[in-house]
């Protein structure tokens, strides 16, 4: 089976497992796991931020950040395709009791101008108080597209002027960095908090890191505890993260190349109506003749390819560390025979 359902399906490599088994660990709730402490510092430094917090999932890092910056009677501004809105179980309402203002961006990318038009007047008691803007980069539901850094600068300037906080769901931020060649440290200057996932393109078995100021991360640590995310000798997992930051970032360009080749193979097939432009490791395509994505995914499965539906007539492929050139060739062969 060729598994293109997500970049979360990767297994740790042999070397990654060796590094994990040798990790020096301690009780992280006491702050005594040196491997976790090293990972948090390393990830923070990478983005020019002060501190980091290792968490079990990207949902948790996002939800902690949202809770940190918003709350009852306030509003979070984000795109309608955002992971924080669509795929975190309604967590914004459940965890933070905040309202959400959904914008309709370009494949999920919103602009400073759109945000400016959607900030509530703080003196109007009818409206929730706008508190937080949450961006996503790369944008999953938008087919892995990434932001133009100049737009991020404009958004951050607007947020500072209006007293709003700015969070980045960077589950696939490394894909955006490799594709755009933007400077990671500059990201830290513009966001209050950034969530990065180690368990996606970087190939770790578990883990996300929330990055921010020392003060915010101190509060975030308290929120992680109440959510049940205070782990003990989790340095075994953090060791995989350190290894991935050192060894698995640059290679993401290979995933991007393979995704482009998949899109190229799909684009002229009679069963494909259109393929979204491929900017990183995600390929989203729409089926022709109102074919149901669920039926097509079943057909793919019978032919040896696992994929997910991404809307009624849309299918998603994600390339990753465990998808190599041999599998790509096989995949293209299957696609052409369907």
Ligand X SMILES: *Cc1c(COP(=O)(O)O)cnc(C)c1O
* Interaction site with ligand X (CB under 6 A): 57-59, 62, 83, 136, 140, 169, 171, 197, 199-200, 208
Q: Which is nearer to ligand X, 165 or 200 (CB)?
A: 200
Q: Which is nearer to ligand X, 78 or 242 (CB)?
A: 78
Min dist. Cβ of residue 87 to ligand X (A): 7
Min dist. Cβ of residue 1 to ligand X (A): 21
Q: Which is nearer to ligand X, 28 or 88 (CB)?
A: 88
Min dist. Cβ of residue 79 to ligand X (A): 11
In sequence order, what are the residues at sequence separation of 6 or more whose Cβ sits closer than 8 angstroms to the Cβ of residue 133?
A: 76, 77, 78, 115, 155, 159, 164, 165, 166, 167
Q: Which is nearer to ligand X, 59 or 280 (CB)?
A: 59
Min dist. Cβ of residue 60 to ligand X (A): 7
The answer to whether 134 and 275 have CB atoms below 8 angstroms apart is no
The answer to whether 321 and 249 have CB atoms below 8 angstroms apart is no
Nearest to 319 by CA among 277, 281, 264, 265: 281
CB-facing half-sphere around the CA of 237: CA atoms within 13 A: 18
Nearest to 134 by CA among 169, 87, 162, 185: 169
Query: Is the bond leading into 138 cis (omega within 30 degrees of zero)?
Result: yes
Q: Which is nearer to ligand X, 36 or 129 (CB)?
A: 36
Q: At what angle do helices 252-267 and 173-180 cross, to 10 degrees?
A: 80
Min dist. Cβ of residue 139 to ligand X (A): 7
Min dist. Cβ of residue 130 to ligand X (A): 22
Q: Which is nearer to ligand X, 188 or 229 (CB)?
A: 229
- Residue, CB closest to ligand X: 58
Min dist. Cβ of residue 280 to ligand X (A): 12
- CA distances to 8, 20, 38, 252 from 243, rounded to whole Å, are 17, 9, 11, 15
Q: Which is nearer to ligand X, 129 or 241 (CB)?
A: 241
State the burial class of residue 234 (Cβ atoms within 10 Å of its Cβ: 0-12, 13-18, 19+): buried
The answer to whether 70 and 76 have CB atoms below 8 angstroms apart is yes
Min dist. Cβ of residue 62 to ligand X (A): 6
- CA distances to 57, 116, 225 from 9, rounded to whole Å, are 14, 39, 27
Q: Which is nearer to ligand X, 28 or 169 (CB)?
A: 169
The answer to whether 223 and 67 have CB atoms below 8 angstroms apart is yes
- Sign of the torsion angle spanned by Cα atoms 20, 140, 172, 90: negative
């Amino acid at each position: 089976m060729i598994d293109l359902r997500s970049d979360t399906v990767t297994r740790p490599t042999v070397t990654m497992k060796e590094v994990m088994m040798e990790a020096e660990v301690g009780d992280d709730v006491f702050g005594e796991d040196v491997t976790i402490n090293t990972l948090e510092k390393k990830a923070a430094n990478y983005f020019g931020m002060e501190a980091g917090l290792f968490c079990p999932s990207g949902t948790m890092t996002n939800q902690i950040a949202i809770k940190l910056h918003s709350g009852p009677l306030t509003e979070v501004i984000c795109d309608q395709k955002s992971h924080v809105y669509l795929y975190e179980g309604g967590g914004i309402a459940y965890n933070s009791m905040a309202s959400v203002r959904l914008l309709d961006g370009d494949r999920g990318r919103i602009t400073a101008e759109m945000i400016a038009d959607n900030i509530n007047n703080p003196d109007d008691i009818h409206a929730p108080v706008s508190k937080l803007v949450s961006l996503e980069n790369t944008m999953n539901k938008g087919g892995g597209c990434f932001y133009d850094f100049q737009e991020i600068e404009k958004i951050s300037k607007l947020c500072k002027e209006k007293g709003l906080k700015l969070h980045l769901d960077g589950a696939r931020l490394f894909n955006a960095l490799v594709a755009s060649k933007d400077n990671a440290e500059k990201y830290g200057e513009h966001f209050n908090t950034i969530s990065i996932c180690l368990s996606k393109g970087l190939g770790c078995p578990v883990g996300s890191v929330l990055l921010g100021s020392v003060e915010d991360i101190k509060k975030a640590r308290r929120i992680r505890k109440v959510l049940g995310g205070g782990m003990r000798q989790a340095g075994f997992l953090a060791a995989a993260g350190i290894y991935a930051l050192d060894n698995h970032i640059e290679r993401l360009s290979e995933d991007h190349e393979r995704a482009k080749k998949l899109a190229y193979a799909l684009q002229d097939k009679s069963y494909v109506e259109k393929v979204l432009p491929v900017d990183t490791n995600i390929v989203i395509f729409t089926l022709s003749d109102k074919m149901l994505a669920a039926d097509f995914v079943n057909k793919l499965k019978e032919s040896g390819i696992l994929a997910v539906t991404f809307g009624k007539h849309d299918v998603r492929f994600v390339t990753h560390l465990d998808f190599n050139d041999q599998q790509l060739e096989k995949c293209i062969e299957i696609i052409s025979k369907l």
